[in-house]
């Protein structure tokens, strides 16, 4: 029997008389059925009532006959959205796995009806086009045309809607592109080749060192050379060298000084502080306290021929070493000692022949002039490290033909060139000027011949000059002493004759010196055992002293116009103070061992010490005891009078007492 | 005996004396030369045992400071023939036995 299917029914009822059995699931269907029935039979209220009252049911003929049980049985039906017409066992070939694989998910959509719409949005492109077409078509209408246009225009105008955001874009004018290309010149190139070997490196370094030494010398000489500039430029880069050695030298020097000071500590203390208290009890007499002894073993066999204190550095002095004997070997040395180091000279220079005299320039204390035994004069520059003099008169003519006995620096001439004057055994007094690289000589005067020499030989046999001194104030006045025992007073401006001649000694005059304070007084000493003091206006000496042996040197004290000291060949030092005792020495002291002759003496310009040189090449320093350094007693209440005037006055007093 | 001792002394002497940096040939400007030389000295002292590292340090610094493509050779025995940009070559000795050649060529 066919069961009538009604579309949309959820449940199918089994029994028509379901109304009476109000079971929940069935009730739905009943209600639905009930509603339908109501609708069908709604017109008849009476029938409704009848239905509600429950009346006899009409059974359709082809309905199933089921038992009560079967009627009550619940049959569940599920509705799914599956498309019954969709295939359920679709199989596809999978290339990956190489076999047929069933596809599980099959599209279940069944399209019952499809209709494409013909609505177009009026603001879309297509809509606009259509509207425009429409407007064209209705153009022919005439009156309506404007309206239509207006309408179209209206329609075409966008509705301003504040919620509608507009995009505006515009394109500026783009300049047309243009291709430009350029090729620069490549940076210039050059080839370079070299070899880097150990020997090349070594050679180059050696060369460089040599070059540096040379240019250093040149630099110090203040000569500008084009080549030197170039090499300087090359040097500048490499001047980051580390001067290990020279720094060490400096440190070593300091240590040397310290060691020396420690060794000679007592001497140094004496030098500074010791004042002989015993002097008070000695009356007038004084003593000399030996301090340092300077000797240099390379100077063995040489005698001290010259001594000179450095005017700028009061502890530095120069010693010239040579020989007075003509037979001895010709060599000489110039040494510089400092009181701070008595064991080794600060500077030493070897000279080809014996040094006979030394003078240090007053202002430029590094310029040292020496006169040599062979007649040469040389100038050394202490600032330079080299052993050679910066000037030497060997090459030039005008070299003395005899030993140079004395040199003295003069003030710079008008061209600011340094110059000095020398006197030698050939009887000439010559002025030497330092001009750039050379010494230029000018004869000043020639010593007059000795009386004993016959007239025709006067030009040949020269009168040897032995000493020279310039006046302290009027420096064009000078005194020259000769071997003949005469002293000549001359003037630089007057070259033909001497102003005056004094018959000083019977034998060689070994030294003549002006008094440092009094302008008229000078002193001389000679091998005839005499020391004489003169007033240059008077022909005969004012004072005469006889010392027992040949006097080799005499010197005025720098602190007093009446004090002087003399050295003799018996090794004694004699110190005189004329203001205290006009006849006798205040001190006569032997300072060297037997058979050593003292040859030179010099006072230190500042300290109360003297240095004496002997013929063994030794220099001994001695300190003057207080008695020898007396200054005039000041009266109570009076100020201490100043130096020079007092000294001059002292001397004047003395002199006047004698006249 | 004395001679060999002297010989050794001389060797040590010259090494000490010759250890300062010495320019053998250059066409650089003054400023560049000084800077480059200082750089080379620093590098060689820093990498005293390793020439390669020293050269690397020099090359990289030069590239940064003065522009690309520098070349550096450090050694004790070599010969060379190079093309370099004008005013960009430095050839110097250092430490008594080292030679350093620095040049630019791109």
Query: CA-to-CA distance for B105 and B82, rounded, in angstroms?
Result: 9
A193, A241, A242 ranked by CB distance to B80: nearest:
A193
B105 vs A contacts (CB less than 8 Å): 189
A191, A208, A244 ranked by CB distance to B16: nearest:
A244
- Select from A565, A572, A533, A534 the least CA-distant residue to A550: A572
Measured between CB atoms, does B16 come within 8 Å of chain A? yes
Closest-CA distance, B80 to chain A, in angstroms, reads 5
Task: Judge: B93–A204 Cβ closer than 8 Å, yes or no.
Answer: yes
Closest-CA distance, B6 to chain A, in angstroms, reads 18
Strand partners, A429: A423, A445
Q: Detail the DSSP E strand segments found in chain B.
A: 22-26, 70-75, 78-85, 89-94, 98-104
Domains in chain B: how many in total? 1
Closest-CA distance, A233 to chain B, in angstroms, reads 10
Task: Give pTM, 2 decimals.
Answer: 0.54
Helix (H, G, I), strand (E, B) or coil at A349: strand
Question: B36: nearest CA in chain A?
Answer: A237
Query: CA-to-CA distance for A407 and A422, rounded, in angstroms?
Result: 4
- What integer pLDDT is reported at residue A13 of this predicted model? 47
Q: Over 80: is that where the pLDDT of B6 sits?
A: no
Low-confidence ranges of chain A (pLDDT < 70): 1-56, 140-162, 164, 222-244, 326-329, 394-398, 449-460, 631-648, 650, 658-659
CATH number at B25 reads: 3.30.740.10
Closest-CA distance, A204 to chain B, in angstroms, reads 8
Closest-CA distance, A385 to chain B, in angstroms, reads 19
Task: Judge: A192–B14 Cβ closer than 8 Å, yes or no.
Answer: no
Helix (H, G, I), strand (E, B) or coil at A193: strand
CB B37 within 8 A of CB B90: yes
Chain A residues within 8 angstroms (CB to CB) of chain B: 187-198, 201-202, 204-206, 208-209, 234, 237-238, 240-242, 244-245
Task: Judge: B34–A187 Cβ closer than 8 Å, yes or no.
Answer: no
- What integer pLDDT is reported at residue A455 of this predicted model? 66
For the stretch B49-79, pLDDT in tens is 999 999 999 999 999 999 888 999 999 999 9
- What integer pLDDT is reported at residue A130 of this predicted model? 87
- What integer pLDDT is reported at residue B78 of this predicted model? 92
The mean predicted confidence, pLDDT, of chain A is: 77
Domain that holds residue B42: 2-104
- What integer pLDDT is reported at residue B26 of this predicted model? 92
Contacts of A47 (CB under 8 A, 6+ apart): A41
Query: For the purposes of burial, counting CB atoms within 10 Å of the CB of B91, is it exposed (0-12), middle (13-18) or buried (19 or more)?
Result: buried
Strand duo A428-435 + A500-503: pairing: unpaired
Task: Judge: B20–A242 Cβ closer than 8 Å, yes or no.
Answer: yes
Distance, CA of A638 to chain centre? 56
- What integer pLDDT is reported at residue B53 of this predicted model? 93
Q: Go through chain A and tell me how many residues it has.
A: 659
For the stretch A82-101, pLDDT in tens is 877 888 888 888 888 888 88
């Amino acid at each position: 029997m066919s069961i009538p299917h009604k579309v949309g029914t959820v449940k199918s009822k089994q029994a028509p008389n379901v109304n009476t059995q109000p079971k929940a699931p069935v009730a739905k269907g009943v209600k639905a059925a009930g509603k339908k029935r109501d609708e069908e039979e709604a017109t008849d209220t009476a029938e409704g009532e009848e239905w509600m009252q429950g009346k006899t049911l009409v059974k359709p003929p082809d309905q199933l006959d089921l038992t009560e049980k079967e009627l009550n049985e619940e049959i569940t039906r599920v509705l799914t959205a599956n498309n019954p017409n969709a295939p359920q066992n679709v199989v596809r070939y999978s290339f990956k796995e190489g076999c047929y694989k069933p596809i599980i998910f099959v599209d279940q959509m069944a399209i019952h009806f499809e209709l494409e719409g013909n609505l177009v949005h009026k603001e879309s492109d297509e809509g606009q086009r259509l509207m425009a077409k429409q407007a064209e078509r209705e153009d022919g209408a005439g009156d309506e045309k404007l309206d239509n246009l207006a309408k179209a225009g209206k329609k075409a105008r966008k509705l301003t809607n504040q919620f509608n955001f507009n995009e505006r874009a515009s394109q500026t004018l783009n300049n047309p592109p243009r291709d430009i290309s350029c090729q620069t010149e490549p940076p210039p190139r050059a080839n370079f080749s070299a070899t880097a070997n150990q020997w090349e490196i070594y050679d180059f370094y050696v060369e460089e060192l040599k070059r540096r030494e040379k240019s250093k010398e040149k630099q110090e000489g203040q000569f500008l050379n084009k080549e030197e500039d170039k090499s300087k430029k090359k040097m500048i880069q490499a001047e980051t060298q580390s001067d290990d050695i020279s720094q060490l030298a400096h440190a070593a020097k300091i240590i040397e000084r310290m060691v020396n000071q420690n060794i000679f500590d007592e001497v140094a203390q004496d030098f500074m502080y010791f004042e002989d208290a015993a002097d008070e009890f000695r009356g007038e007499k004084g003593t000399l306290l030996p301090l340092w002894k300077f000797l240099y073993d390379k100077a063995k066999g040489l005698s001290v021929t010259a001594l000179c204190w450095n005017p700028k550095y009061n502890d530095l002095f120069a010693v010239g070493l040579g020989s007075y004997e003509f037979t001895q070997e010709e060599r000489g040395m110039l040494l510089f000692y400092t009181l701070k180091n008595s064991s080794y000279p600060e500077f030493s220079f070897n000279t080809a022949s014996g040094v006979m005299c030394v003078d240090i320039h007053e202002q430029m204390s590094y310029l040292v002039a020496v006169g040599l035994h062979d007649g040469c004069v040389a100038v050394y520059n202490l600032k330079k490290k080299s052993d050679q003099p910066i000037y030497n008169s060997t090459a030039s003519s005008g070299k003395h033909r005899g030993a140079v006995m004395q040199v003295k620096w003069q003030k710079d001439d008008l061209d600011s060139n340094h110059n000095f004057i020398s006197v030698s055994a050939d009887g000439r007094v010559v002025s030497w000027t330092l001009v750039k690289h050379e010494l230029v000589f000018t004869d000043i005067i020639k010593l007059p011949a000795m009386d004993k020499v016959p007239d025709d030989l006067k030009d040949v046999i020269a009168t040897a000059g032995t000493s020279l001194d310039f006046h302290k104030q009027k420096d064009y006045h000078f005194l020259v002493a000769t071997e003949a025992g005469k002293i000549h007073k001359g003037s630089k401006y007057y070259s033909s004759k001497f102003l005056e001649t004094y018959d000083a000694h019977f034998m060689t005059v070994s030294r003549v010196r002006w008094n440092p304070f009094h302008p008229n007084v000078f002193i001389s000493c000679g091998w005839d055992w005499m020391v004489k003091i003169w007033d240059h206006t008077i022909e005969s000496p004012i004072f005469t002293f006889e010392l027992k042996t040949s006097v080799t040197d005499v010197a005025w004290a720098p602190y007093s116009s009446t004090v002087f000291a003399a050295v003799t060949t018996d090794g004694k030092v004699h110190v005189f103070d004329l203001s205290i005792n006009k006849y006798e020495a205040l001190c006569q002291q032997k300072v060297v061992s037997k058979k050593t002759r003292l040859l030179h003496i010099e006072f230190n310009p500042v300290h109360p010490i003297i240095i004496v040189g002997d013929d063994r090449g030794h220099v001994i320093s001695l300190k003057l005891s207080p008695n020898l350094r007396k200054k005039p007693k000041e009266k109570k209440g009076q100020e201490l009078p100043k130096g020079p005037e007092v000294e001059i006055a002292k001397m004047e007093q003395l002199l006047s007492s004698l006249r | 005996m004395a001679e060999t001792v002297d010989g050794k002394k001389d060797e040590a002497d010259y090494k000490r004396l010759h250890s300062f940096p010495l320019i053998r040939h250059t066409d650089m400007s003054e400023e560049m030369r000084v800077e480059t030389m200082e750089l080379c000295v620093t590098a060689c002292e820093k990498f005293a045992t390793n020439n390669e590292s020293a050269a690397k340090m020099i090359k990289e610094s030069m590239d940064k400071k003065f522009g690309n493509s520098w070349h550096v050779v450090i050694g004790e025995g070599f010969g060379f023939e190079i093309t370099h940009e004008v005013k960009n070559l430095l050839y110097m000795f250092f430490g008594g036995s080292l030679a350093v050649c620095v040049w630019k060529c791109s």
